[in-house]
Chain A
Amino acid sequence: MSKHIYKDICEEFRFQAFYNKHSKDLHNFLYYKFGEQISPKDKTQEAFIKLWENCKKITPEKVKSYLYSTANNLTLNEIAHQKVVLKYTKIKPINYSNESPEFLMEENEYREKLQKAIANLTEPQRVAFLMNRVEGKRFKEIAEILDISTKAVEKRIYGALKKLRKEIDGI
């Protein structure tokens, strides 16, 4: 881990730089982990507010893990393990006439199955898998964000894929 020449991030510009680097990842992390009904944006903001208020007490090496665990705890406090629901972004069909009702129905069914399967993944699996698939993040990046080894990321993602396919296709 790189050595930090400053002792905290209470300086505004440091805090902002830190925000720019980590806020989006944190937001997405919360979304993958808890779903959209916890409003990941609010939780992200709350976590950063907490971080700012306590900035003097946190050494630079611990800032990131503090941020993630704070956001995590804030969210856990709020939800009593609700079912995770991820919003499926509907893409407007380019041309209605091109798709038969049959095809649309099949697509709908597939989507529902997938949604359920994703919700059934374990939290760590879901987070790593969606970071990888939705955002196209590579294993190494994910490992850095989650503070785990690349091998563990690979395991989680591959495990998630297997589980999904099993639930959808019965393979």
Chain B
Amino acid sequence: MKKEDLITKWLDNNLNSQELEAFKELDDYTELIRLDNAIKRFKPNHFDTDSELEKLNLSLKNRTQKQNNWLKPLLRVAAVITICFGFYYFTSNIDTSIKTEIAQKESISLPDESQVILNAMSTLTYNDNNWDSNRNLDLNGEAYFKVAKGEKFTVNTTSGSISVLGTEFNVKNRDDLFEVICYEGSVKVESELHSKILKPGERFLILDNIFIKDLTVIETNPYWINNESAFKSMPFSQVIAEFERQYNVSIDVNNINTKKLFTGSFGHDNIDVAIKAITIPLNLTFTRNSNKISLKRE
């Protein structure tokens, strides 16, 4: 066997006994063994797999903990931001609310210079925030609107909603009554059952859940803003209710038929004149005792 092959086999620890003898006979034998012994001392440091694995697991754990350390301050910041946003959101969503008492009228300028006149015993609620893009308000009672041109303007009531782009109209939403009168521009009224687009002078009326068609008015703004309540074929009960709202009195109707229709008006300045104005046309008499008025058929 060639010397080269023997050495290769020796390197591969693959010599059989015969070959080993031959290998020992080589001239290079002593030199090779000396070299080999010396090389064997270039040993790597002892590597203890178990303890190294333990160390590895520890540093892997530390790594995840480090991530937690980094996460904690971030969570704190996130919490503060959340609170700030929450506070902002909460405060910016507080609604502005305006309420009128008996015999009180209130004139309101909305953020876009739209005008609202609120009749007695009414509540108007709106949100300053986003007013430019979202003109939305809630009404309970009666109000007259002069809407500035702009985005869609919506009045929500318990009986339905009125939406316009810019116009003048009156909304009256009382116990059994839902009335919208358009004075300028056009108004879209949507109630649960009925929907109509009003032109100037047209009236939308739901009385005791009955929709009354084809009504018109001739005046260009509601009487009440000039301190007079006017009625056209309205049940007398509505007149009394309005009277009670304008003058702080309670009216005892006894057994008068309050369904009877009334056409006429009463002023808001003088109760003595006003009570006559609503009683005489119906042939009624009244007795007044401070804040109590009792009506009687003649």
Q: Name B's interface SS.
A: helix
Interface size of A by Cβ–Cβ distance < 8 Å? 44
Q: A52-B60, A132-B11, A161-B7 are in contact. Are A45 and B52 (CB under 8 A)?
A: yes
Contact call A161/B11, Cβ cutoff below 8 A: yes
Q: Which of B9-46 contact A (CB under 8 A)?
A: 11-14, 28, 31, 34-36, 38-45
Q: A24-B49, A114-B39 are in contact. Are A138 and B44 (CB under 8 A)?
A: no
Contact call A89/B41, Cβ cutoff below 8 A: yes
Q: Which residue of B lies closest to A45 (CB)?
A: B56
B8 adjacent to chain A (CB < 8 Å): yes
**Pick the contact of B60 from A49, A87, A134, A171 — CB < 8 Å?**
A49
Q: A118-B42, A133-B39, A136-B13 are in contact. Are A49 and B56 (CB under 8 A)?
A: yes
Contact call B41/A16, Cβ cutoff below 8 A: no
Complex A-B: 21 CB contacts under 8 Å: A20-B53, A24-B47, A27-B52, A28-B44, A36-B45, A44-B47, A45-B52, A45-B55, A48-B56, A89-B41, A110-B34, A110-B38, A130-B42, A134-B44, A139-B11, A139-B12, A158-B4, A158-B11, A161-B7, A161-B11, A168-B35
Q: A32-B44, A138-B12, A158-B11 are in contact. Are A165 and B52 (CB under 8 A)?
A: no
Shortest CB distance A91–B (Å): 7
Give chain B's interface residue range (CB within 8 Å of chain A).
Answer: 20 to 34
- In whole angstroms, what is the CA distance A169 to B38 when docked? 14
Contact call B49/A91, Cβ cutoff below 8 A: no
Q: Name A's interface SS.
A: helix
Hey, which chain B residues are within 8 Å of A88, CB to CB? 41-42
Hey, which chain B residues are within 8 Å of A161, CB to CB? 7, 11, 35
Hey, which chain B residues are within 8 Å of A87, CB to CB? 42, 45
Hey, which chain B residues are within 8 Å of A64, CB to CB? none
Shortest CB distance A150–B (Å): 9
Hey, which chain A residues are within 8 Å of B43, CB to CB? 89, 134
Hey, which chain A residues are within 8 Å of B41, CB to CB? 88-91
Hey, which chain B residues are within 8 Å of A91, CB to CB? 41
Contact call A133/B40, Cβ cutoff below 8 A: yes
Hey, which chain A residues are within 8 Å of B7, CB to CB? 158, 161
Q: Which residue of A lies closest to B44 (CB)?
A: A31
Identify the 9 closest CB pairs spanning chains A and B, nearest first: A31-B44, A86-B42, A27-B47, A133-B39, A89-B41, A28-B44, A24-B47, A139-B12, A89-B43
**Pick the contact of B47 from A23, A48, A154 — CB < 8 Å?**
A23
Q: A41-B52, A89-B41 are in contact. Are A114 and B35 (CB under 8 A)?
A: yes
Shortest CB distance B65–A (Å): 14
- In whole angstroms, what is the CA distance A15 to B277 when docked? 98
Hey, which chain B residues are within 8 Å of A45, CB to CB? 52, 55-56, 59
Q: Which of A10-30 contact B (CB under 8 A)?
A: 16, 19-20, 23-24, 27-28
- In whole angstroms, what is the CA distance A138 to B34 when docked? 20
A157 adjacent to chain B (CB < 8 Å): yes
B288 adjacent to chain A (CB < 8 Å): no
Hey, which chain A residues are within 8 Å of B11, CB to CB? 132-133, 139, 154, 157-158, 161
- In whole angstroms, what is the CA distance A113 to B31 when docked? 14
Q: A19-B49, A114-B38, A165-B35 are in contact. Are A40 and B56 (CB under 8 A)?
A: no
Q: Which residue of A lies closest to B40 (CB)?
A: A134
Shortest CB distance A39–B (Å): 9
Hey, which chain A residues are within 8 Å of B38, CB to CB? 110-111, 114
Known: A41-B45, A132-B11, A139-B11. 12 other contacts (CB 8 A): A27-B47, A32-B44, A40-B44, A45-B52, A45-B59, A89-B41, A130-B39, A130-B42, A134-B44, A154-B12, A157-B11, A168-B35
Hey, which chain B residues are within 8 Å of A32, CB to CB? 44
B297 adjacent to chain A (CB < 8 Å): no
Contact call A20/B49, Cβ cutoff below 8 A: yes
Shortest CB distance B38–A (Å): 5
Hey, which chain B residues are within 8 Å of A36, CB to CB? 44-45
